[in-house]
């Protein structure tokens, strides 16, 4: 009777362990799928994505961000924001990182590539907590071409306004 009782207990225990094992396998699979989807979004973004800690050292960056700056992803991992930002000082950047909240900010700046060339960038930034520490997440878009178009439009508008002013002055002189 004792052997039968132990056998039944062992079977129940084995069944419970198998159920827990299957549940854990399912959870691990779901987490792995989610991590894969997030990695895919991160790596296929048309924008450069970089996350850094409050000391402004890169925590993570996608390939697009490294490509924008002309570095390998391994090289980017050793950088601080002031290594590529061509507008703000180290103190400015540290202050901005300290003040940034989870609402975030959108601003324009210029980034310096590894070769020293500079390009116009729009940065969307926000802070988040990850494992108890604050990280700053930035999406960076090269807007050099857009800025060129904006400058051309401004010149064209100014030329049109100057031509309109000259025409008005000419007509005013002719009427006198």
Count of alpha carbons within 13 angstroms of residue 80, beta-carbon side? 12
pLDDT (average), residues 151-158: 82
Tens digit of each residue's pLDDT (9 = 90 or more) over 5-19: 778 888 888 889 999
pLDDT at 176: 64
Percent share of the chain, pLDDT over 70:
99
Higher pLDDT, 119 or 174: 119
Cα distance between residue 71 and residue 59, in whole Å: 15
**Does the structure show a pLDDT above 80 at 151?**
no
Tens digit of each residue's pLDDT (9 = 90 or more) over 35-92: 777 777 777 788 999 999 989 999 999 999 999 999 999 999 989 999 999 999 999 9
Higher pLDDT, 154 or 53: 53
Give the model's confidence band at 161: pLDDT under 50 very low, under 70 low, under 90 confident, else very high.
Answer: confident
């Amino acid at each position: 009777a004792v052997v039968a009782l132990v056998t039944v207990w062992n079977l129940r225990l084995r069944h419970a362990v198998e159920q827990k094992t299957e549940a854990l396998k399912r959870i691990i699979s779901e987490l792995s799928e989610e991590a894969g989807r997030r990695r895919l979004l991160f790596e296929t973004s048309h924008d450069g994505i970089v996350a850094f800690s409050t000391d402004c050292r890169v925590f993570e960056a996608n390939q697009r961000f490294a490509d924008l700056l002309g570095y390998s992803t391994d090289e980017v991992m050793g950088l601080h924001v002031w290594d590529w930002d061509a507008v703000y000082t180290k103190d400015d950047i540290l202050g901005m990182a300290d003040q940034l909240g989870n609402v975030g900010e959108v601003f324009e700046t210029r980034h310096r590539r590894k070769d020293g060339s500079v390009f116009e960038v729009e940065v969307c930034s926000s802070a988040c907590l990850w494992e108890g520490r604050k990280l700053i997440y930035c999406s960076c878009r090269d807007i050099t071409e857009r800025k060129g178009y904006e400058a051309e439009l401004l010149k064209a508008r100014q030329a049109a306004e100057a031509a309109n002013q000259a025409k008005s002055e000419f007509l005013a002189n002719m009427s006198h």
